[in-house]
A and B are shown apart, each in its own frame.
Chain A
Amino acid sequence: MRTFKIISLLVLAALILSACGGGATPVPPTQPAAPPTTAPQATAAPKPTTPPPTAAPTAKPAPAKLKVWIEMSDNPKLFQDEFAKYGKVNNAEIEVVCPAPMDKILAALSGSDAPDVIAMSGSTLAQSLAYQGLTLDLKELATMGGIDLNDIYASSLVVCQQGSKLACLPWGTDTNALFWNKDMFEAAGLDPNKPPKTLDELNQYAEKLNKKDAKGNYTQMGFIPAFPWSQQGTINYLFGGSNYADGGHTLTVNSQGNIDSYKWAQSFYKKYGAKKVIDFQSGFGDYASSENGFFAGKVAMAVDGEWVTGPNFIPKFAPELNYGVVPIPVAANRLDKYGSATVGGTIVIVPASTKNKQATAKLLAWMESPETVAEIMYQFANLPSSKKAAQDPRFKTIKNFQVFIDIMANPNSSGLLNSPINQELNDAITKAEEEIWATDVDPAKLMNDIQKEFEPKLKDAWAKVK
């Protein structure tokens, strides 16, 4: 009997608890989401007791309450401190949530409580959300907040463009270049200060740098196309290939440039034995560790991003590494493209449900201001997408960083185009790439298959976008 009493008391308590929560009867989901800017929700209201600004001229207006979510988790403290500084100066209360994994962001976007600014590590999702109308056009917001769009490198803006609108703004963007290990070059009889400029040179040098052990397994390699991960996006670009044309309306996955690029990458795996190369690469330690294939001297050349030169990578894990950085080599008939690459990285979006557009625009302007960009991006060694910020002398103190800034500034550099089905297309391409490297399959065949599969999907998708 006692147990029963305890149990029933607990059940009762739980029922009361849930009733107190305002347990509204569940509403069937067929109602469309509440329109974004009208009814102010109870949860984000400013302090209720502060009188409106006009009534009492001496009272401070209620601070704007804004929520900033940052997906990347590398240094939450830095973001909190920076935004707290902004908040103090500008009479705002900024709540920073960092890290905010993708799942969390998507859940919040489905509710009525979405943040005002979200910083994400890539633009793919941002574009998808924009196609659905879930984010604001940042061109408008930039004008409202006074952001000088001309100060932003054109190449870094491409990934954010959606027709005439801006789905996002770059905030510390990325690009890639060729890293090479000078000591390994010297040991193989190559001039350590003359890295390859063309792909033919790259092929030649790579062959000289390969070393095998008695059992025939690699102990050292000159170059692995998919190390540390696939760079096909940028390499395709340098071959003149692209997945889209006409601003994303036409699918060109099977363009000749793409196919040539895949064939070149595949030739590495074919020549040196796909299984052996893949096994060799699998034996590397974690990317961010001293056992990174390049840091540990297992791969002599690698295409990687600018953050590697920064405090969290080579200086931390391999300070004794004798290396240099130059732009990615190009095909002999594409020398005009040398010095360029694709640019794209961290971006910020503003969900359409944001309640205080003015305050958000002001915050955004501050985030994109050269001073802020320089300050924050310097800490991570990310590319400052603002031209003025790139002049900040601090960036010159990071060894090998200037190469990346030059690549970003190169007029031939650009970003990858996108479309409403970009995520699915990228997924299919990723799977195809895996097959291309691991097997003898003809890249043209796979790309033609993808082209055939996605062309109708692309058309349907564009038809749905208003």
Chain B
Amino acid sequence: MENSTLSSTLAPGITVGRQGRRRHQVKKTMQDLLKHCLIIGVGLFFALPLLWMVATSFKADRDVFHTPLRLLPYVNTMVTVNGQQLPLYDVKIGDQVRQLALVKLEESIGDFVDPHDPTQTFPQVRMKFAEPVMQVGFRWQNYVDALNYNPRSGSGATIFTYLRNSLIICFFAIIGTVASCAVVAYGFARINFPGRDLLFIFVMGTIMLPFQAIMIPQYVFFNDFLHWGNTLLPLIVPTFFANAYDIFLLRQFYRTIPEELCDAARIDGASEFDIFARVVIPLSRPALAVVAITTFLFHWNDFQAPLIYLTSPQNFTMALGLADFQGQRQILWNMLMAASTVFTVPIIVGFFFAQKEFIQGIKLTGIKE
């Protein structure tokens, strides 16, 4: 590179030399700072709602929608009076405000007692004169309640049953999807046969019809023809026959593998399957990992299909279990968030350990690197 080219592409005014280097340092630090700010800023966008979700999972029913907005969970301050745990209130008696413990509350009238002197009682106080004393506190009980939430006694199904079912489905779905899509995608990517592109459009066509339209005939097919109603089969078996999303993804990925590698193997007399198995598959680990992960997440979160196919609670999945927290006119927010947190934490942990595996791509820029 000629010096003139070099200096002409640098910002005008910057000269080479110690002064120039210092300015370059400053510029670089500014850039680093900017990068950091951006990363953190965008990170906040992602993190804050999550933080709220976790915070809500620790809140009491009455605290979830406290206005104005409160991130931290609060609980009633409790005092022990005569061996009983009673909530503390600030009560306006006459002109004074005293801290009293609430003994009984019925129809907006409360009976209070002085926690320091239990013989002093204040019966029949209108609650509009009383404000509860709150303090920051985490309701771990929510998690216990959410995990034990078993609105159907006698069926023996707990959240762990749902977990087991979800894991079974995801496990088989991953095997089926990765195996079948890897094979099919290779056919589309690297084998040149007539009608290939037309058939690919067909493949894409299968995801162009909205689910709502085929839901009912599909249900009738699985339930009435195959008698697979109320089993996990309708959710697992179709995954062994590839799906358009992952075929497309892997096809794109395979096309980035240099043709020369495959040709070299072909010249050596390898069959197409050998090339696939020995050359392409090892190189496509990151893409296969992505397929595995997206398959896992799809089936983990899938609600619609388990909803219509599964009737006994023993067969329910996690997604259906979460729906239990949504009543007809109410949502058990804190328990829903607690359950969702429990639902997501194992995935987060797994991701943390697995991310190095699949994010690191393998360089495929040539035969000799």
Contacts and interface: CB of A to CB of B under 8 A. Distances in A.
Direct A–B contact in the complex, CB atoms closer than 8 angstroms: yes
A141 B66 CA distance: 50
Contacts of A76: 151-152, 324
Nearest to A24: B225
Contacts of B233: 17, 21
Contacts of B220: 29, 110-111
Nearest to B325: A73
Interface string B208-235: 0000000111011101111111000100
A72 B223 CA distance: 24
Nearest to A97: B311
Nearest to B155: A80
Given A1-B273, A77-B152, A99-B323, A24 B108 contact: no
A200 B250 CA distance: 69
Given A72-B328, A73-B323, A289-B64, A23 B152 contact: no
A113 B223 CA distance: 8
B26 interface: no
Contacts of B331: 286, 288
A75 B150 CA distance: 10
A22 B226 contact: yes
A188 B293 CA distance: 60
B361 to A, nearest CB: 21
A88 interface: no
Name which of A11, A14, A26 has the most chain B CB atoms within 10 A of its CB: A14
Nearest to A228: B329
Given A291-B67, A320-B127, A11 B107 contact: no
A464 interface: no
B108 A319 contact: yes
Nearest to B215: A107
A382 to B, nearest CB: 11
Interface string A100-117: 010110111011110000
B168 to A, nearest CB: 14
A312 B330 contact: yes
Given A10-B179, A76-B152, A77-B151, A322 B128 contact: yes
Contacts of A99: 323-324
A291 B106 CA distance: 20
Contacts of A111: 219-220, 223-224, 229
Interface in A291-343: 291, 296, 307, 312, 316-317, 319-323
Contact of B328 (A97, A104, A121): A121
B227 A21 contact: yes
A89 interface: no
A291 B68 CA distance: 11
Given A10-B175, A11-B179, A291-B65, A27 B326 contact: no
A199 to B, nearest CB: 27
A183 B128 contact: yes
B241 interface: yes
Interface string A424-452: 00000000000000000000000000000
B357 interface: no
Interface string B139-151: 0000000000011
A231 interface: no
Interface stretch (B9-17, B73-81, B112-120, B274-282): B274-282
A2 interface: yes
B180 interface: yes
A42 B229 CA distance: 13
Contacts of B323: 73, 99, 101
A7 B61 contact: no
A1 B67 contact: no
A98 interface: yes
B219 A107 contact: yes
A110 B221 CA distance: 11
B327 interface: yes
B229 A113 contact: yes
Nearest to B230: A113
A202 B120 CA distance: 43
A396 interface: no
A288 B329 contact: yes
A399 interface: yes
A270 B63 CA distance: 34
A287 B241 contact: no
A110 B225 CA distance: 13
A14 B176 contact: yes
B304 interface: yes
B153 interface: yes
A110 B223 CA distance: 10
B289 interface: no
B240 A27 contact: no
A417 interface: no
A320 B109 CA distance: 7
Contacts of B225: 22-24, 26-27
Contacts of B107: 399
A151 interface: no
A29 B155 CA distance: 36
B255 interface: no
A-B pairs, top 3 by smallest CB distance, nearest first, are A288-B330, A285-B65, A320-B127
Given A14-B241, A77-B153, A111-B220, 7 more contacts: A74-B327, A74-B330, A101-B323, A289-B62, A317-B61, A322-B127, A399-B107
Interface of A: 1-4, 6-7, 10-11, 14, 17-18, 21-24, 26-27, 29, 42-43, 71-77, 80-81, 84, 95, 97-99, 101, 103-104, 106-108, 110-113, 121, 183, 283, 285-291, 296, 307, 312, 316-317, 319-323, 399
